[in-house]
Copies of this chain bind each other. A is one copy, B any other.
Amino acid sequence: MRTLNVALGARTYPIHIGPGLLQRADMVAAALRTPRAAIVSNDVVAPLYLDAFLAGLAKLGVGTTAIVLPDGEAHKNATTLDAIYDRLLAERCDRTTTVIALGGGVIGDLAGFAAATYQRGVPFIQVPTTLLAQVDSSVGGKTGINHPRGKNMIGAFWQPQLVLADTDSLGTLSDRELSAGLAEVIKYGLIRDLPFLEWLEANIERLLARDAEALTYAIERSCANKAEVVAADELETAKEGGRALLNLGHTFGHAIETGVGYGQWLHGEAVAAGTVMAADLSRRLGWLNDADFGRAVGLLAKARLPVESPAMGADRYLDLMSHDKKVIAGRLRLVLLKRLGEAVTYADAPAAEIRAAIESCCV
């Protein structure tokens, strides 16, 4: 087991990474304020892990409530959130009850936002079971739901007490979900860690083959990168760079997710295609050369991720992107690549170049 601390002053918390952690009810119980927990999961993850997880906690005297939601991004909305509130109230969960997310990123976002807002905030623990959730949403405290007018538009920052990332749980992921997680892993290399990008180029086949050692290394290095960025800019208030850099490919990607309808593309797939757009725009601005661009696209493709985006027309993309949270005072602030391993936020890309990048990446 490897342990990483996310340094956030009084809200500092540990991320444990390794095999067998789903069996460590003792670690969960030790982090509870009172021996009472509400476990939020979904109907894909629950049949695999929930009963054993509950039994482990019960053996230690923890009273539990299980809340099993329908799977998928399409359910990350106000209706599902209210279903969580309703169960917490019906079961008389109080302000000391800990909410535990057992599942992927959608479950983490939903359960985390419920924890942030139930009775004005209760303790929260993350047990991410997908690669995407382990390398992304388990660090940083972003929680929230989608709104019909935009993705992740409603939410809060709410830090967990503890994260347990069990690498065994990756064995049950579909190939498609594994690849979607790798999109965010590759992102850390592209935005701030060239040596890691090179390691990924050399080891992508081991990751796709679910080599445990390679996965543990990639998860730990990803979380370490994200933890450094988050510690320096917890609430994403930095005017330049900072936490916003983690959104490489996300503004384009969110437009894809919204444009084709939530849940059609996996988040990581949309980020991959969006990253290609961002890289193409970076090339048009003269920051990446053709070889750099080819390396970025090549690695994403080797990870079996989509590198072409759906043709919706540049106008539709720009309209969807204008709703993005990265819009400040009406200006679209994009995350682009100065070079491989170094991202910047940039609000001055000419509209014609943005359009050209979009058009050339669509099929």
CB distance from A334 to the nearest CB of B (A): 15
A156 with B153: CB separation less than 8 A: no
Given contacts A85-B153, A89-B149, A149-B86, contact A121 B235 (CB under 8 A): yes
Given contacts A78-B78, A89-B147, A92-B323, contact A156 B117 (CB under 8 A): yes
A 141-158 contacts with B by CB, 8 A:
142, 144, 147, 149-150, 153-157
Set of chain B residues within 8 Å of A330, measured between Cβ atoms: 92, 94
Q: How far is the CA of A154 from the CA of B155 in the complex (A)?
A: 13
Is the C-beta of A329 less than 8 angstroms from some C-beta in chain B? Answer: yes
Given contacts A118-B154, A120-B156, A235-B121, contact A96 B149 (CB under 8 A): no
Q: How many copies does the complex hold?
A: 2
* Bitwise interface map of A from 94 to 121 toward B, beta carbon under 8 Å scored 1, else 0: 1110000000000000000000111111
Is the C-beta of A316 less than 8 angstroms from some C-beta in chain B? Answer: no
Set of chain B residues within 8 Å of A92, measured between Cβ atoms: 322-323, 327, 330
A 126-184 contacts with B by CB, 8 A:
142, 144, 147, 149-150, 153-157
A155 with B120: CB separation less than 8 A: yes
Q: How far is the CA of A150 from the CA of B120 in the complex (A)?
A: 13
Q: How far is the CA of A329 from the CA of B90 in the complex (A)?
A: 15
Is the C-beta of A34 less than 8 angstroms from some C-beta in chain B? Answer: yes
Is the C-beta of A2 less than 8 angstroms from some C-beta in chain B? Answer: no
A 332-358 contacts with B by CB, 8 A:
none
Set of chain B residues within 8 Å of A149, measured between Cβ atoms: 86, 89-90
Is the C-beta of A328 less than 8 angstroms from some C-beta in chain B? Answer: yes
A 55-107 contacts with B by CB, 8 A:
78, 82, 85-86, 89-90, 92, 94-96
Q: How far is the CA of A149 from the CA of B86 in the complex (A)?
A: 7
Is the C-beta of A250 less than 8 angstroms from some C-beta in chain B? Answer: no
Is the C-beta of A36 less than 8 angstroms from some C-beta in chain B? Answer: yes
Q: How far is the CA of A322 from the CA of B153 in the complex (A)?
A: 34
B117 with A154: CB separation less than 8 A: yes
Is the C-beta of A206 less than 8 angstroms from some C-beta in chain B? Answer: no
Q: How far is the CA of A92 from the CA of B95 in the complex (A)?
A: 35
Is the C-beta of A295 less than 8 angstroms from some C-beta in chain B? Answer: no
Count how many chain A residues have C-beta atoms less than 8 Å from C-beta atoms of the other chain: 37
Is the C-beta of A325 less than 8 angstroms from some C-beta in chain B? Answer: yes
Set of chain B residues within 8 Å of A119, measured between Cβ atoms: 153-155, 325
CB distance from A143 to the nearest CB of B (A): 8
CB distance from A98 to the nearest CB of B (A): 12
A 276-335 contacts with B by CB, 8 A:
322-323, 325, 327-330
B323 with A89: CB separation less than 8 A: yes
Quick one: which of B36, B121, B147, B325 contacts A85, CB cutoff 8 A? B147
Set of chain B residues within 8 Å of A147, measured between Cβ atoms: 85-86, 89
Set of chain B residues within 8 Å of A117, measured between Cβ atoms: 117, 144, 154-156
CB distance from A10 to the nearest CB of B (A): 11
Q: Can you report 18 A-B residue pairs in the complex whose CB atoms are below 8 A from each other?
A: A34-B328, A36-B329, A85-B147, A89-B147, A89-B149, A89-B150, A89-B153, A89-B323, A94-B325, A94-B329, A96-B328, A116-B156, A117-B155, A117-B156, A120-B142, A120-B157, A120-B236, A156-B156
Closest 7 CB pairs of A and B: A89-B149, A120-B155, A119-B325, A94-B327, A34-B329, A117-B154, A117-B156
